[in-house]
Homo-oligomer: A and B are copies of this chain.
Amino acid sequence: MTEVFIAGVGQTPVGELWDISLRDLAVQAIVAARKDAGGLKPDAMYVGNMLAPLLSDQAHLGSLIADHAGLKGIEAAVMEAGGASGGAALRLGYMAVASGEVETALVLGVEKFTDMLGSKVEAAVSTATDSDYESVQGLTPTAQAGLLMRRYMHTYQVPRSAFGGFPINAHINGAANPLAMFHNLISIEAYEKAGTLSDPINLFDAAPMADGAAAVLLTRRELLPKEALLPLVRISGSSMANDRLALHDRPDILEWMAVRLSVERACRQAGIRPQDVDLFELFDAYSIYTALSLEAAGFAERGKGCEMAVDGTISLTGKLPISTFGGLKARGHPGGATGVYQAVEAVLQLHGLAGKNQVSGAKRAMIQCLGGPASTAVTHVLERV
């Protein structure tokens, strides 16, 4: 099968970007990625987006953005898989190039969450749950996360404060990332005093909904531009898996099957064990997501995920750095763009261009994004060649 390489990456700042439209935001990321790739022109664009039809009255983003970006005549469409939409678009771009059907695929993630009132955003995000059985009863994503966290604390006898290490680490890394939404540090005292959103989830357990766009150009080796940065980076593992959408249908809500399956598949394809990666950009939409992802991916025993924050394992100088540019929690969570931000950040790490966020000597990265409470999991392995 054709090997798939990264030809260039681009990203916009993440935050409440009220002065720029969805389409302009998308084009900023595309222009940056194409510039990074020596002007390479894609023949396809796959867009990761979650909620533009609901929040921006705009579907059909493939055609809209291809047009606005001057990419006349190319193939373009949107991938949607809840919060995993960006990862799903990356996977589609990977398959398109691997199949030989597409020479150069532009994978774009774009989302504008903050133009609307919060209640509308919460309602929109809730469409990614099982609407007929969950959100219609008030079981929103944050309420789901609360159930998961309470169950975790009960089953493993873990105190709430044990989760604080995750947002604290994310904010340390975000503070060094000029594009991040938040640059402030938080203390364990602040974490413990933070207001409750959906018991026991507090404000610092939940990633902020944000606006942002990120783009990655994928191509095969012989089409890489002369300007391509060395060392080359390729996608060595790509996979997607689903679990039951509704939490109540799962035999064990603390076992994240989709994460486990997608990590197994991506690692098998890459010919590695999870422990062989130098960093892990995971989906820290909630602190409890981080713990459960680390466990299901095979980095911690069940019930022990939080210990990785306490002992420094997840810091930039630890054995398994996570959220290296701030993660969803501090870089911000721009919905369908998040999975593409993860890819951009992994590439910067592998090129040694991560500045103050650099993981020393990073050769191989795992990135993973989730739709719902790991109802969908998309995992990729990127590595220096």
Contact = CB atoms under 8 A, between A and B. Distances in A.
A42 B94 CA distance: 20
B58 A131 contact: yes
A242 B81 contact: no
A302 to B, nearest CB: 19
Contacts of A258: 73
Given A1-B100, A53-B54, A67-B246, A59 B80 contact: yes
Interface in A82-111: 82, 84-85, 88, 91-92, 94-96, 98-102
A16 interface: no
Interface in A28-76: 44, 50-51, 53-54, 56-64, 66-67, 71-76
Interface stretch (A165-173, A181-189, A273-281, A368-376): A368-376
Interface string A220-246: 000000000000000000111111111
A: contact size bracket: 35 or more
A249 interface: yes
Interface of A: 1, 21, 23, 44, 50-51, 53-54, 56-64, 66-67, 71-82, 84-85, 88, 91-92, 94-96, 98-102, 124, 127-132, 135-136, 238-246, 249, 257-258, 261, 371-372, 375-376
Given A21-B132, A77-B80, 13 more contacts: A53-B124, A58-B131, A60-B82, A60-B129, A60-B371, A62-B80, A63-B244, A63-B245, A73-B258, A74-B242, A75-B242, A79-B79, A98-B100
